[in-house]
Structure 1
Amino acid sequence: MSARNQPMPPSPSRRNFLRVGAAAGGGLLVGFSLAGCKPEKRNETPPEAAVGKAASKAAEEAPGLEHGAFIRIDRTGAVTLIMHKVEMGQGTFTSMPMLLAEELEVDLSKVKLEQAPADNSLYSDPLLGGQVTGGSTSVRAAWEPLRQAGAAARLVLVDAAAQAWNVKAGECTAKNGVVTHAASGRSMHYGELVDAASKLPVPKVIVLKKASDFTLIGKKHARLDSPEKVNGQAKFGIDVRLPNMLVATVAASPVPGGMLQSADETKAMAVKGVRQVLKIDNAVAVVAEHMWAAKQGLAALEPVWSDGQHAAMTTATIVADMKNAAESGKGAAVARNDGDVSKPAPQGGRVIEAVYEMPFLAHATMEPMNCTVDLRADGCDLYVGTQVPTFAQGAAAKLTGLPPEKVRVHNHYLGGGFGRRLEVDFIAQAVAFAKQVKQPVKFVWTREEDVQHDMYRPYYYDRLSATLDDKGKPLSWSHRVTGSSIMARFAPPAVKDGVDPDAVEGAKDMPYAIPNVRVEYVRHEPPVPTAFWRGVGPTHNIFVVESFIDELAAASKQDPLTFRRDLLDKSPRMRAVLNLAAEKASWDKPLQPIPGRRVGRGLSTQFAFGSYMAQVAEVSVGDDGEVRVHRVVCAVDCGQVVNPDTVVAQIESGVIFGLTAALWNEITFDKGRVQQSNFHDYRMMRMNEAPRIEVHIAQSSDAPGGIGEPGTAAAAPALANAVYAATGQRQRKLPIVAAQLKKA
């Protein structure tokens, strides 16, 4: 999910930002606001978020602590961070402790994590406005608050030691969880100091480390969650086991808006192990002693559906409606309007026009949707992996009539999110079914149910035109985006003057210096549920912008790299990563020929999620049209890097994710139904098909940018432009169709 770049209000004072106190049973408790605090001697203004009164057990144990996140240091010196973000493979369970440990001066192995409960007042992300993990915001939002909290805890511990020894705090140092007074040779570990430290005030001045003094940040570190994922100890939502628990699998109406008409319970109940058949308006579930029995019972159930008004819906009808909306421009909202794009082309110039389309896409997370519900008269417990615990809590409270505090969300590792687990449809469905059961039930979607009842990345239909002068330089650029508005549903206040900021991200703020630019947005809602998908708006806009820029370069008979460079004078960081990627990819040297195949190289640039990136893709195309990606070179400036290994891993996974979608993925409809069902027809890139990926990180001391999604957004246009270089055929519609690339 994407976070907007908005002017930031003044940061809260340190007095309101940090508090220290005693933890229950002894020890030090540090409460701090995730809104951050302006550090001393630095010219940065962190974002602000609402900070409410504490409602958690931790806050009750430490009166006066009224702030969102908590750090506990016990008498053994063990450090516990209440983790406000979830781990879905992106590395937050390593990067967040690194931020804390850097300033606290403890070994990273000493930092343990507890998943935060659902509570917006305590754990709201200032960039997202809620307890949400998404938008490549985790490090960006926690960069200062966690370091400030770690530094504050270290300083009060040093003060406690100095008072105990009757020396000046400035004569003491802290390292590896130990405070030392070098002059006298005395030392005490943090655990010996926590009780005294809990009675001291937060220092008035907190100076954070300079980048040159970092011992953890910027250094490679193995993922802290890897061992338990490798040895099988890690618990995902689908791994939950509760006493007296049953298992259910579900089937929902195959057509959006359809309803359950009937189901043969007799056949289902005849399956050994089946306990109950549950029905709600648009879905049915079979509850059994284990998953196999539930699946067999569902197969025997043979539900009959009333398809409703969308029974005749096809991909063709959806696209035809979008085309009409795009061409008419009715209701178009202006996202950007610089200069005058209506000026005619000068003598010797020309106008280039194009239409780009991108398909519906499923998330296809490795762990399909699941939720275990233990619903009782006095409360409800949800065991799930979700990116939005408070949304889950709210949905369950609404359905059950319970107050939110009676709904407890037990969050687990997520077996992939990609934006899918920003939605709570599967959780609400599970709770609706659970109201008919008297014991805990784990509801698990099959892969087929998961693919065919996803909330999809929107279909986009884009119209573009540009005017070139007689030398091929762009004078104007017009871009009309047509698609559904996720933000209008997910966060309505974000939509201003009819513009969905996510739908135009990467188009409105493209980096190229063109004097006349107009970007419009036409909201068009198909009868298909849409949601955020890894990279969201930029995954479509970067493809469109970078593909069309390549078209303009070809029309002006210029090298794509040179053409871009000439338009990036006002974006030095972008130009720098473009040059770095081109250098590492040996852009100025021809590709080695491959017998029987056409070879090509393409590039893309992007600014999204606070990071600058350029990618170069090398491909070959066979006579049968099959595309192989051999190499991808990526250069990234994501500001200060916390863990380089995480940056590389996220870009590698993002590139694979983006290439997979561009080469093969699309969700299509016929008779109202999704045509794809599993990995045989919604395929993933296989290991033998994966390219060599090289990641080059530009050194920077700027504030961190996001890294979870940029790799995905930049991959498709680099690939498409490489295919054009190899075949001379533009790829204006994804996925790439091999049959259209066959050699005549």
Structure 2
Amino acid sequence: MAIRHFITGAAEDTPSPSRRGFLKAAGAAGGALMVGFWALPESIAAGINPAVDSYVASAFITIGADDSVTLTMAKVEMGQGAYTVLPMLIAEELEVDLDRVILRHAPPDAKVYGLPFGDQFTGGSLTIRTLWEPMRQTGAAARMVLIQAAANDWKVDVAECYAEHGAVIHRPSGRSVRYGQLVTAAAALPVPQKIVLKPADQFKLVGTPVKRLDAKDKVNGVAQFGIDVHLPGMLVASVAASPVFGGKLKSVDDRKTRKMHGVRQVVRLDNAVAVVADNTWYARKGVEALKVVWDEGANANLSTADLRALMTAALKKPGVVARNDGDALKVLASAGQTIERTYINPMLAHAPMEPLNCVVHVGPDSAEIWVGTQAPARARDAAAKVLGMAPEKVTLHNHLIGGGFGRRLEVDYVEQAAAIGRQVKGPVKVVWTREEDIQHDVFRGVYAHTVSASVNAEGFPVALYHKFAGPSNLARWAPGWMTKEGVDVDAVDGSINFPYSIPNMRSEFRTEDGPVPTGFWRGVGPTRNVPTLESFIDELAYKAGKDPLAYRLAMLDKHPRARHVLQRAAELAGWGTPLPKGQGRGIGLLYAWDTYVAQVVDLTVSDSGEISVQRVACVTDCGIAVNPDTVVAQLQGGINFALTAGLYSNITIKNGRAEQSNFHDYRLLRINEAPAIVVEVVKSGESPGGIGEPSVASLLAAFLNAIHAATGKRLYELPATPELIQQSRAA
């Protein structure tokens, strides 16, 4: 039966139809019913330029004659719980038991599975925000069609029928029929013109804690990540890439390597060399035996000091104004006294637990790829370009991801694997070592900020000017998402929506791309802007002689949700109770991704400058928490991720190379260092906000403020090493 397209009519509890949304149903071969829907919420669509008329759907559900419900997932699972929460939305409206929903990775196809932004990717805390209504509408539309099919068969009024546990029931007679028995008849029906969603008080799944559907397979080893792929006859490649950014391969003496046991081949690339062998050990030993000479190029003498100087110099150049309430520049120019501070954000690596890897099998006129990627269509298309093939000739199998954090939005490792694979007969798995993974990352770049303020007689800011400079990730990765004024909406996030009532506020961003590859890092723009601005606000509170909590609350008259999370976090933390000498308590607030998060950090700073974090109180109002367990887990994970950055993380450059190489010098927070974490999720009726990233930026804000509370000294950069603490004390 051919696929038919239907434009939805308006419904009381669904958005009015527009070019942003439509529903489709199809009777698939074998008597299955397929339903897909995409509608972009207006709040997400605002400011996005690309036209979306051609988009089909971000997810499909297929109901089989055997009662199976298959959800084709356009999103990827990288630990955030998407493979549990999205099936909950389908199951809720479709009225099926959650354990009946089967997940299938979506193939790479941005036209079919792409977000309304025109791309197929997972990131930016967008999953629930963009799929909250479409997934429910998909399930509800399928439910309504199935109920209509049953009513038609029974020749009864559809109002007399309802759905429950994967069956349609006739209320007066008690008759019932399984969904699988209805799919053929349902596929022949028109899609309902009004999609009726459940009211919140009828939710059975949404809002309840549900165990992760993927947990069992991950525990018993059944779950397959990209690095687990093993094919018959597969070889393994280990890689040495140019240690200097932008460097090239000049020459390689591989005579010793080619004589080694298990080594099959040495592959030369423009900026790397790979050893292909029977297993990882042989491949790695083969790389170690190579004698490589690199052309280090223009960046041979690059240092961290150069990058910092580049970004601080950029602050003196004009940028793009993203927010301009009132006239902050005029007020500051006429003020008798202003307060100005400069902040530096360090370069950071992603350091996922699963290092980058990709399996490629290149044939004469087609290829297959097995990989874990956050952007499957981009990865497929990039590999096809390297191989000189049409994209439809490349089949990509996506897998679970052992840590993404933005790193797997990039396709460089897939391109490299394709370039190696085309020189190898048979399948080859390319696996980066931890050293390659950290030293050849697409890093969170160095950023510089200046923040200036003029305050009134009570010490509250009447003008605030935030200017910052650094790489524009959107300009490189998704230039079509830049606003028509040239604003990188990611770079300015956390500044343009800074929630405090300040009569005159200006946010200005200067794009300055350095020679080091940079990209998105968990928490994206707010991880740079929120700690900077929240630290500055905290400093203003102290200068005014006011309690930092009371100071913030006085400026949040327009944000009652922000006030509530701040007050509640303070209550959980025992705000105002005295602490011993050397201990500090700091607070931080975030509003981003349609989510409010407040955190309070309790920590101790020793005489030698060592920091230990004892406790974190975290309160979020993220709208409706579809699965509260997932929300809590995401916040806890983000807190520990952020503490790693706050205490230890810093990629430094010397002679054009990243100096850090593994977890011995790019440390992660260890289990004995993790604080006690108390999380509270505010019960809300608002549409869901993002939750994967907000706790990172808000934690770093509270962390900086707690250090000041403990030491009386304020840091203007991270990580908070003992050396930096001691320098601040001496200043």
Q: TM-score range by the shorter chain?
A: over 0.9
In structure 2, the CA distance between the partners of 1:141 and 1:246, relative to structure 1 (3 Å rule), is same
In the alignment, structure 1 residue 417 sits paired with structure 2 residue 421: no
1:76 aligns with one of 43, 53, 66: 66
1:543 to 531, 536, 541: 531
Please give the secondary structure, in 1, of the residue aligned with 2:352: coil
Partner of 2:8: none
Question: What is the match of residue 549 of structure 2?
Answer: 561
User: 256-265 or 223-232, which moves further after superposition?
Assistant: 256-265
| CA-to-aligned-CA distance 1:665-705 (integer Å, 9 cap, x gap) | 00001111110000000000000100111111111111110
- Quick check: 2:472–2:488 contact (8 Å CA) kept in 1? yes
Cross-structure match for 1:509: 497
Candidates 278, 288, 293, aligned match of 1:304: 293
Task: Judge which range, 537-546 or 187-196, deviates more.
Answer: 187-196
Which position in structure 1 is the counterpart of 2:611? 627
2:443 aligned with 1:459: no
- Number of paired residues? 711
Match of 1:351 among 338, 341, 345: 338
Distance 1:625 1:13 in 2: 58
The 3 A distance-change label for structure 1 pair 49 and 691 is: farther
1:3 corresponds in structure 2 to: none
Any idea what SS the aligned residue of 1:517 has? strand
Map 1:45-444 onto structure 2 (within 5 A): 50=52, 52=54, 67=57, 69-126=59-116, 128-326=117-315, 328=316, 330-343=317-330, 350-444=337-431
Structure 2 CA distance for aligned equivalents of residues 141 and 394 of structure 1: 24
* Deviation of 1:468 (Å): 1.2
Kindly indicate whether the alpha-carbon contact (under 8 Å) linking 1:481 and 1:503 is maintained by their aligned counterparts in 2.
no
Contact 2:21 2:39 in 1 (8 A): no
Matching residue within 511, 527, 533 for 2:515: 527
Matched, 1:17 2:4: no
User: Are the counterparts in 2 of residues 34 and 49 from structure 1 also a CA contact under 8 Å?
Assistant: no
* Counterpart Cα distance in 2 of 1:132 and 1:361: 22
RMSD value over aligned CA atoms?
A: 2.1
CA distance in 2, matches of 1:619, 1:208: 46
- Structure 1: how far apart are the matches of 2:311 and 2:379? 32
CA distance in 1, matches of 2:572, 2:648: 28
Alpha-carbon contact 2:360-2:429 (below 8 Å) kept:
yes
Structure 1 85/514 Cα, relative in aligned 2: closer, same or farther at 3 Å? same
Q: Deviations over 1:226-280 (max 9, x none)?
A: 0000000010001111121110011110111111111121111122100000011
Residues 388 and 421 of structure 1 are in contact (CA less than 8 Å); yes or no, is this contact kept in structure 2? yes
Matched, 1:727 2:711: yes
**8 A Cα contact 1:218 1:640, kept in partner:** yes
Measure, in 1, the Cα distance between the counterparts of 2:294 and 2:486: 36
Q: 1:349·1:468 contact (CA, 8 Å) conserved in 2?
A: no
Partner of 2:659: 675
Give the deviation of 1:402 after TM superposition: 1.0
1:33 paired to 2:37: yes
User: Compared with structure 1, are the counterparts of its residues 67 and 555 closer, same or farther at alpha carbon in structure 2 (3 Å cutoff)?
Assistant: closer
SS at match of 2:289: helix
Q: Secondary structure at the match of 1:398?
A: helix
TM-score of the superposition, structure 2-length normalised?
A: 0.94
**Cα gap change, 1:323 to 1:209, in 2 (>3 Å):** same
Q: Secondary structure at the match of 2:633?
A: helix
Shift of 1:144: 0.9
Q: Report the Cα offset of residue 49 of structure 1.
A: 6.8
Are the counterparts in 2 of residues 258 and 308 from structure 1 also a CA contact under 8 Å?
yes
Distance 2:306 2:45 in 1: 49
Residue number in structure 1 paired with 2:679: 695
Structure 1 residues 342 and 195 mapped into 2: Cα distance closer, same or farther (>3 Å)? closer
Q: 1:20 to 1:332 in 2, by over 3 A?
A: closer
Cα distance change of structure 1 residues 323 and 185 upon mapping to structure 2, 3 Å threshold: closer
AA matched with 1:552: L
602-611 vs 444-453, which moves further: 602-611
State the secondary structure of the residue aligned to 1:303. Answer: strand
By how many angstroms is 1:470 displaced? Answer: 2.3
What one-letter code is carried by the residue in structure 1 that aligns with 2:527?
Answer: T
SS at 1:33 equivalent: strand
Name the SS for the 2:338 alignment partner.
strand
* 1:33–1:51 CA contact under 8 A, matched in 2: no
Give structure 2 stretches of 5+ with no counterpart.
Answer: 1-14
For 2:252, the aligned partner's letter is A
Per-residue CA deviation, residues 436-472 of structure 1 (Å, 9 max, x unaligned), is: 1121110000000000000000111111111112221
Alpha-carbon distance between aligned partners in 2 of 1:727 and 1:27, rounded to the nearest angstrom: 66
Contact 2:329–2:465 (CA under 8 A) maintained in structure 1: no
Q: CA deviation at 1:51?
A: 5.5
Answer whether contact 2:641 2:696 (CA < 8 A) is retained. yes
Partner letter of residue 510 of structure 1? F
Q: Which amino acid aligns with 1:717?
A: A
Structure 1 residues 346 and 420: alpha-carbon distance in aligned structure 2, compared to 1, 3 A threshold: closer
Q: Does 1:475 align with 2:462?
A: yes
Match of 1:4 in 2: none
Superposed displacement of residue 129, structure 1: 3.0
Q: Do 2:494 and 2:530's aligned partners in 1 also have CA atoms closer than 8 Å? A: yes
1:60 maps to none
Which residue type is aligned with residue 198 of structure 1?
A
Q: CA separation in 1, counterparts of 2:476 and 2:306?
A: 23
Deviations 1:143-192 (A, max 9, x none): 11111111111111111211222211111121111211132121111112
Q: Is the 8 A contact 1:50 1:121 kept in 2?
A: no
Gaps in structure 1 of 5+ consecutive residues: 1-9, 54-65
AA partner of residue 17 (structure 1): F
Partner of 1:638: 622
**Cα separation, partners in 2 of 1:236 and 1:590, compared to 1, 3 Å:** same
SS class of match (2:182): helix
Percent identity reads: 53
Q: 2-side partners of 1:233 and 1:460: how far apart?
A: 42
Kindly provide the amino acid, as one letter, of the partner of residue 504 in structure 1. Answer: V
C-alpha separation between the residues in 2 aligned to 1:720 and 1:246? 48
Q: What SS is found at the alignment partner of 1:278?
A: strand
Task: Kindly indicate whether the alpha-carbon contact (under 8 Å) linking 1:278 and 1:433 is maintained by their aligned counterparts in 2.
Answer: yes
Q: 2:514 aligns to what SS in structure 1?
A: coil
Change in 2 beyond 3 A, CA 1:44/1:503 = closer
The whole-number CA distance in structure 1 between the counterparts of 2:45 and 2:475 is 28
Contact 2:618 2:677 in 1 (8 A): yes
CA offset digits 1:200-248 (Å, max 9, x no partner): 1112222101111100000000000000000000100011111211100
Partner of 2:592: 608
Preserved CA contact (<8 Å) 2:37 2:135: no
Check if 1:647 corresponds to 2:631. yes
